Amino acid sequence: MTRLLLPGMEGRVLGERGGLRVVELYIGAQHPASGHMRLIVYLDGDMIVRVDPDIGYVHRTVEKLAETREYVRVISLVERMTIIDACNVTLPYVEAVERLLGVEAPPRARYLRTILCEINRVSSHLYGLGLGGIFLNHSTMYMWAFGDREVFVHLASLLTGSRLTHTYPVFGGVRRDLPQSFRDEFEKAKRYMLRRLREYDKVFFNNPVIRGRLEGVGVLPREKAVALGATGPNLRASGVRYDARMTGYAAYRDLGFEPVVGREGDALERVWVRLREIEASLELVERALRELPDGPFIDERYTRAVPPAVRHWLEKGRLKLPGGYVRLKTRPGEALGRGEMGRGEITYYLVSDGGMKPYRLRVVTPSARNVVLFDALARGHTLMDLPAVYGSIDYFPPEADR
Amino acid sequence: MAGSAGGDRHRSRPGLVRAHLEAIATAARRLLEPPMTMPIPDYGDARVPGYRGVVLFDYDKCIGCSLCAQICPARAIKMYRVPGDKRLRPGYNVGRCIFCGLCTDICPTDALSESIVHDRVYDDVPSMDMDPVDWAVWSRRVLEEERKPGRPLLRARVDPERGLVYERVDAEGGPVAEEKGEER
Ligand code: SF4
Ligand code: SF4
């Protein structure tokens, strides 16, 4: 079989059909546009007949490691699946454990969690848009989205003290109260971002070159989206009105959450849904800030046992934990945690035997569910459409590999 | 709330020539604006208040309860036996630390605190793994550097026109008077 070398890719000729070579092409794992994974693409001439995503390059045994750590230490562990969407990835786990512990976060903490989740969602969508842009050789979109994401990373670090891995929601509440400067900074960031979204429309979304690359590419019909179990903006772009936030966790019920739903299901529609979700998230944060209830940011049960010498931190809006927090025991049983991340729904299934560590923690991440779309959407398109499909489904290998 | 149905993208679609021109004009307009990035290394990052950097240790305030070592998700803190000390004391491997700050949250005294630094340079890998005495000495050095920064500091702030802008601040985070108003 003949080897075939292309820039950044390697392949081999499988045979011939109708005068055209049938080629098996390896894209990745060192290809700049493959992410931490490899795509094995089968081509008939220039037409994709099959795509095998070769995943698992960044598998870190998160589920197994979770069984060896106390509940609170698992928060920072599961965060590492998607550090760019840290609050969204940890919150459903925290809520599942809270259910077994029998605590509930006070209203203020629920609102603060929602605020950080939505800020994370904006950063996550901007990250996806930037990568989607560079996949299409649109360097401007790449630079702009990553530059503007910095504004939201800055907001998150104001709230949590950390740019990416916030470890913000903990059992019974959150780790920091809203800092004084936050409202003002957010208000400016919202004005800035809304203006920028108009510019994105001009430079990227309505750009005829981008339209040419995305419109009608990788169409995912509604029924197929449901049958394949696609999730997140990819599902909503196909016209399915489903979003895990509709279950009303954190403060979403109080805020009257409404999902953004598309119709066409092509690559362009998936980008459109993400752009509009950025607007919706800004709107949600603004409403959450307006309606933010007063009160403690962590459950009394934990603050009561904090030594008097360090209680002053609580008044300053910083969490102090009691010594027993490391050795929290849950009641035996199972709990399910669901939440909507930037890329779709994440599910935690937690089994406890009454000890200090999870007996079993099963995680299904949105990217793990969306990986089927590579094959389903790229078939029948040309090789040049593959980056467009990849960019539009916003797949994140570390999240899928866990 | 943007709960609107999709598909309106087709209606709002501008004509081909106009769309091309708009895209070019929008990108060209940004060319005139200054960059959004922080000019490192000429300037240092003053960080936001409450930033979580490397963890600093005050030996005298520690009561040797080992809670920090128990909660550390990265096992960056280990308890050591120190000659001449009856209690175990924590040592710190900064190479393992993920700057989660949980140890400072659980420390029942104020022995642990967060600095604003996370990007220090170390001579070699073993020097990142510190025993309690090393950690305490090193912490004092980091604190001193924090008070007397080697380069001028900038702090990011959101600007409704330009996204992020940076202003000169002193080590305490106050604005620097003579250059106040000058932004990069
Ligand atoms: S900040 Fe986190 S990782 Fe670092 S020493 Fe403290 S608990 Fe461990
Ligand atoms: S938690 Fe604080 S007091 Fe306890 S051992 Fe660690 S540094 Fe010392």
Q: pLDDT tens for residues A130-151? A: 988 988 888 888 989 999 999 9
Q: pLDDT tens for residues A260-298? A: 888 888 888 899 899 999 999 999 999 999 999 988 888
The ligand 2 atom nearest the CA atom of B65:
4
Q: pLDDT tens for residues A150-165? A: 999 999 999 998 988 9
What pLDDT score does A384 carry?
85
Q: pLDDT tens for residues A171-213? A: 988 999 899 889 999 999 999 999 999 889 888 888 888 888 8
Judged by a CB distance cut-off of 8 A, whether residue A276 touches chain B is: yes
What CATH number is attached to the domain comprising A257? 1.10.645.10
Q: pLDDT tens for residues A78-116? A: 999 998 899 999 999 999 999 999 898 899 999 999 999
Query: Taking 90 as the threshold, does the pLDDT of residue A381 lie above it?
Result: no
Which positions 95-154 of B are in contact with A (Cβ < 8 Å)?
98-102, 105-110, 114
Ligand 1 neighbour B77 (Cβ under 6 A): yes
Asked whether residue A54 is domain-assigned, the answer is no
Q: Tell me the average pLDDT across A231-246.
A: 89
Provide, for chain B, the percentages of residues in helix, strand and coil under a 3-state DSSP scheme, each rounded to the nearest 5: 30, 20, 50
Ligand 2: residues with CB < 6 A are: B 62-68, 90, 107-109, 111-112
Structure tokens at A116: 């950080």
Q: How many domains does chain A have?
A: 1
Question: Greater confidence, B11 or A269?
Answer: A269
Query: Taking 70 as the threshold, does the pLDDT of residue A28 lie above it?
Result: no
Query: Taking 70 as the threshold, does the pLDDT of residue A319 lie above it?
Result: yes
3-state secondary structure of B19: helix
> How confident is residue A217, by pLDDT bands cut at 50, 70 and 90?
confident
Contact between B49 and A178 under an 8 Å Cβ cutoff? The reply is no
Cα A373 to ligand 2 centre (Å): 49
**CATH code given to domain B55-147:** 3.30.70.3270
* DSSP 8-state code for residue A215: T
> How confident is residue B6, by pLDDT bands cut at 50, 70 and 90?
very low
Dist. CA A316–CA A313, nearest whole Å: 5
Q: Tell me the average pLDDT across B146-156.
A: 84
For chain B, helix (H) and strand (E) counts, in that order, are 5, 8
> How confident is residue B182, by pLDDT bands cut at 50, 70 and 90?
very low
Query: Taking 90 as the threshold, does the pLDDT of residue A347 lie above it?
Result: yes
> How confident is residue B127, by pLDDT bands cut at 50, 70 and 90?
confident
Cα B78 to ligand 1 centre (Å): 11
Question: Greater confidence, A1 or A202?
Answer: A202
Q: Tell me the average pLDDT across B28-56.
A: 85
Domain residue ranges in chain B: 14-43+151-184, 55-147
Query: Taking 60 as the threshold, does the pLDDT of residue B180 lie above it?
Result: no
The ligand 2 atom nearest the CA atom of B103:
1
What pLDDT score does A6 carry?
67
Structure tokens at A206: 């309505």
Asked whether residue A55 is domain-assigned, the answer is no
| Pocket mutation for ligand 1, best pick of B54, B68, B75, B77 (most atoms within 8 Å of C-beta) | B77
Contact B19 A189 (CB under 8 A): no
3-state secondary structure of A350: strand
| Pocket mutation for ligand 1, best pick of B56, B66, B103 (most atoms within 8 Å of C-beta) | B103
Q: pLDDT tens for residues A38-61? A: 888 887 777 888 888 888 888 989
Query: Taking 50 as the threshold, does the pLDDT of residue B94 lie above it?
Result: yes
Mean pLDDT, all residues of chain A: 87
What percentage of chain A has pLDDT greater than the value 90? Answer: 35
- Give the number of A-B residue pairs with CB atoms closer than 8 Å: 173
Out of A206, A258, A310, whose CB is closest to B109?
A: A310
Cα B71 to ligand 1 centre (Å): 8
Query: Taking 80 as the threshold, does the pLDDT of residue B165 lie above it?
Result: yes
The ligand 1 atom nearest the CA atom of B101:
1
What percentage of chain A has pLDDT greater than the value 70? Answer: 95
Contact A283 B158 (CB under 8 A): no
Question: Greater confidence, A14 or A321?
Answer: A321
Dihedral pair phi/psi, residue A105, rounded to 5°: -70, 140
Asked whether residue A368 is domain-assigned, the answer is yes
What pLDDT score does B57 carry?
92
In 3D, which of A273, A359, A289, A369 has the Cα closest to residue A64? A359
Query: Taking 60 as the threshold, does the pLDDT of residue B183 lie above it?
Result: no
Q: Tell me the average pLDDT across B47-66.
A: 89
Domain that residue A217 falls in: 62-400
Determine whether B12 is exposed, middle or buried from the number of CB atoms within 10 Å of its CB (0-12, 13-18, 19+).
exposed
Judged by a CB distance cut-off of 8 A, whether residue B79 touches chain A is: no
For the ranges A188-192, B36-40, B71-75, which has the lowest average pLDDT? Answer: B36-40
Exposure string over A166-195, b if 16+ CB within 10 A, otherwise e: bbbbbbbbbbbbbbeebeebbebbbebbee
Dist. CA B164–CA B161, nearest whole Å: 9
pTM score > 0.90 for this model?
Answer: no
